[in-house]
Structure 1
């Protein structure tokens, strides 16, 4: 009997569904059981505020506003540039010119903060971080690494801080840098 080799990096197997003969299997996966979350994962009106930030170059303004749209599934600067219709180097150049290299905030950090906000918004006591990472579209180790890099917190600490606490940190550490006018 042949068994395919197992890989630690193959990802998690999809949930198997069983049903009686002649009946359709009901999807009981966590994603199917979760009600839609009405609370926005990013600050309300952020996309509009970014579009009106006159100190940012127009292409960067639009790209950052597009990154706020959760339906687009933007997880990388490469994907952000693709959605914005330009090269990622163009966005990086605009970012460095607008935010400044001395700020210590990179364009990918902005995108990753949005991922963390989406993840903490989905996290509940019943839902494991691995399932949250699946919903956001990244590997659980990546989510853990982003939390550690951007906030200095573990995922457990991030769950204790909660979405509202992380939103306050995002506004003070990220938006204050991105939206401040030069001068």
Structure 2
């Protein structure tokens, strides 16, 4: 199972990248860091710089067909950068078009809003996105993790770093289920 982790060159909340990454790896999956630029990305621990991570693939060259699912880590700046990048938005939307599972935490649903894929779906996020999600046709709920089966794919969302254990458990379960169904 090969899972894309889409992040901007800087601004991703480090723990929202590393915890799901480790969860995918621990279940035998292959996490792949996809970004809008080559080189390294700069993660953050809230407002302080965290670690850097090497980019595996550039979004404009990555093919959704090569992946079994997508993880969108949060941080405030990360999804704000991604939603202004046409290739990142198209890459995100392509996972929905292909019926593949997508997981997003914290502010990451901003990218989903821009990709116009929240309409008719129930999801959660950092509370400040509630109005954006509702205005995009989604139904926002205040839950630790929300799994929404809508059409051919599954959307897994979560609110914040405190919810990471439940988020990681849900995304690995749903990615595994999707992989077994695809066989």
Please classify the TM superposition score into its range, dividing by the shorter chain length: 0.3 to 0.5
Give the structure with the higher percent strand: 2
Give the structure with the higher percent helix: 1
What TM-score results when the alignment is normalised by the length of structure 1? 0.32
